[in-house]
Structure 1
Amino acid sequence: MIRNFEILRLKKAGMSNLGILKLIDYQERHEAKLTLRQLARIAEVKAVPNFIESYKSQDVKRLREQYKTFPSFSILDDIYPEWLKEMYNPPTLLFYQGNLK
């Protein structure tokens, strides 16, 4: 299952928001473990080899440090606003400042 940090990695590698939404939908219906190439095909990435190269060349440690610097939540989290889910192409990952309460 895709988690928040993985959403960030896919976005940084060039996957579109709509592509990530397609992946989330697919994984809700199937439990198979997918290769990076399969993920790219499901998400309808246009340049699959470029996407895979970009994904594999990421500095994961540095990216995780950046990720931890800014609080975030995703469309998979309970805190995600329902009204955002109802719009076309809702953002899959949101960063915020301050207190959410």
Structure 2
Amino acid sequence: MSENDNKFISRNMYTGSRSRKPILGAIATAVFGVLVIAFGAWRYFSMTAAFDAGETVRIHRYESLIYDIAGFLGIGIVYLILGLLIIYYAYSEYKDKTKLEDKKPEQ
């Protein structure tokens, strides 16, 4: 075996079939980010509707701190930022993987 063959094997030995198509992982991660944003929008609108109707609004422990600082809008904004960060992560990981695939093997 040549040195290039050893480098190829070491780069690809422990990767699964998804590593051959990095777009699938990027799409799945980006869809998850969109779902986080959608959940945040639903959570914001359901909390404000319940509050306006005079009902008791239940918030989770981690949302309580955000609510104390910025109210219901702050909770919605945190979910929006978290979803956008996940989408950005999917994009940057996809770009990094495609850059690695585009590199020519050293000879």
TM-score by structure 2 length?
A: 0.22
Which entry has the higher C-alpha Rg, 1 or 2? 2
Larger relative contact order (Cα-Cα within 8 Å, sequence gap ≥ 6)? 2
TM-score by structure 1 length?
A: 0.23
Which structure shows the bigger proportion of residues in helix conformation? Answer: 2
